[in-house]
């Protein structure tokens, strides 16, 4: 049966009469080392005891030990069902429940209980609700965290809010430390891999945020290993710099399932990741985090510090 989602459906390989591809054997550089420290252990205990939910745990992020040791964590808002369906994403697609107006305060409570230094807030797409209504939840989440834990840095990783300038202004006016929106893949692959998004609209979202508040760093992410070429990744980096994006993360795609998600096309080598970093820095990004296990919230606090220092000197 097709995976049904809001606004259409994506056939599985079985629907298309395709065989499920064999997984590519993983290269040695994708192995992670378990490095638990005192902060990680303390947070782990707190999260269990208080029944808090983080994307870090639920997505089995390979960087959880390092991020939690730095007292940084990621939360998902706007519900647990997305109205879009991206070929790499493991979040359930479907008709979401009503927006929860208390969610911002629950997230702020969780950030406070965990004593975080830096919180990344991400969310599903809510095409069932007006972009400005969604934007108010984003803004209220920023304000609620700020009120509870004034010293905690906040990065919001939003959807495209349908490219609605007023909605983007509402989020940016709440003054997160970082405004992020992920391009995720190249211009050519966008329609296939992110059918609910448009490459140019995502660039426009980042440009609008930068125009509204030039001092707030903007950030984006690309996942590689989904069929793109080296030159297409460089095109993304160039396009993102043209709309003033300050921070960049690039990481390897790991397919959540062979049946429902696009297969891994190739394992990008550490040398190629280093080359993207070098090119990104030459293009003028304040910080480029590029490596096989990099995820968009990896080293979020450090990235913010780098961008703040650079923007401070630019303005
Ligand atoms: S919009 Fe975001 S949450 Fe929704 S399917 Fe795409 S990547 Fe996943």
Check which CATH number belongs to the domain holding 101 and give it.
3.20.20.70
Predicted local confidence at residue 242, as pLDDT: 98
Nearest protein Cα to ligand 1, atom 3: 124
**What global pTM score does this model have?**
0.91
pLDDT surpasses 60 at 135: yes
Residue with the bigger pLDDT between 9 and 180: it is: 180
Predicted local confidence at residue 9, as pLDDT: 44
SS3 per residue for 145-195: HHHHCCCCEEEEECCCHHHCHHHHHHHHHCCCCEEECCCECCHHHHHHHCC
* Residue 23 covered by a domain: no
Q: pLDDT band for position 25 (50/70/90)?
A: confident
What is the per-residue pLDDT across 278-289, written as a single tens digit (0 to 9) for each? 999 999 999 999
Phi, psi values for residue 69, rounded to 5° = -65, -35
Predicted local confidence at residue 88, as pLDDT: 92
Calpha distance 64→69 (Å, rounded): 8
Probe target for ligand 1 pocket from 159, 162, 190, with the most ligand atoms within 8 Å of CB: 159
Mean pLDDT of 62-78: 89
* Residue 44 covered by a domain: yes
pLDDT surpasses 80 at 302: yes
Predicted local confidence at residue 133, as pLDDT: 97
* Residue 210 covered by a domain: yes
* Residue 58 covered by a domain: yes
Full domain range(s) for residue 45: 34-314
Query: What is the percent of the chain where pLDDT is above 70?
Result: 92
- State in Å: Cα 254 to ligand 1 middle: 15
* Residue 197 covered by a domain: yes
Residue with the bigger pLDDT between 191 and 13: it is: 191
* Residue 208 covered by a domain: yes
- In 10 A of CB 89, how many CB atoms? 18
Q: pLDDT band for position 310 (50/70/90)?
A: confident
Mean pLDDT of 27-39: 79
- State in Å: Cα 64 to ligand 1 middle: 21
Q: Which of 283, 303, 289 is nearest to 221 (CA)?
A: 289
Q: pLDDT band for position 120 (50/70/90)?
A: very high
Q: Is 84 in the pocket of ligand 1 (CB under 6 A)?
A: yes
* Residue 209 covered by a domain: yes
Number of domains making up the chain: 1
User: CB-based contacts of 188: which residues, under 8 Å, 6+ apart?
Assistant: 228, 232
* Residue 228 covered by a domain: yes
């Amino acid at each position: 049966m097709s995976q049904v989602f809001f606004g259409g459906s994506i056939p599985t390989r079985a629907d298309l009469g395709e065989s499920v591809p064999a997984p590519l054997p993983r290269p040695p550089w994708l192995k992670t080392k378990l490095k638990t420290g005192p902060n990680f252990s303390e947070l782990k205990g707190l999260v269990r005891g208080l029944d808090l939910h983080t994307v870090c745990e639920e997505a089995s992020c390979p960087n959880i030990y390092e991020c939690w040791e730095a007292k940084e964590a990621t939360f998902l808002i706007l519900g647990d069902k997305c109205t879009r369906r991206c070929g790499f994403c493991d979040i359930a697609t479907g008709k979401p429940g009503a927006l929860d107006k208390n969610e911002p305060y629950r997230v702020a409570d969780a950030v406070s209980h965990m004593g975080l230094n830096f919180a990344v807030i991400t969310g599903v797409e809510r095409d069932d609700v007006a972009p400005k209504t969604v934007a108010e939840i984003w803004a209220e989440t920023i304000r609620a965290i700020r009120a509870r834990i004034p010293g905690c840095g906040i990065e919001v990783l939003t959807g495209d809010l349908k490219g609605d300038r007023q909605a983007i202004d509402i989020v940016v006016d709440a003054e997160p430390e970082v405004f992020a929106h992920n391009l995720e893949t190249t211009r050519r692959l966008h329609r296939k891999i992110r059918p609910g998004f448009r490459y140019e609209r995502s660039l426009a979202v980042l440009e609008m945020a930068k125009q509204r508040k030039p001092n707030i760093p903007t950030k984006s992410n690309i996942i590689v290993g989904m069929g793109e070429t080296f030159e297409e990744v460089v095109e993304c980096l160039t396009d993102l710099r043209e709309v003033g994006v300050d921070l960049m993360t690039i990481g390897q795609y790991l397919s959540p399932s062979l049946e429902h998600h696009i297969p891994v096309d190739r394992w990008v080598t550490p040398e190629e990741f280093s080359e993207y970093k070098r090119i990104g820095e030459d293009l003028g990004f304040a910080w480029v985090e590029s490596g096989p296990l990099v995820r968009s919230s990896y080293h979020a606090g450090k990235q913010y510090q780098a961008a703040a220092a650079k923007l401070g000197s630019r303005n």
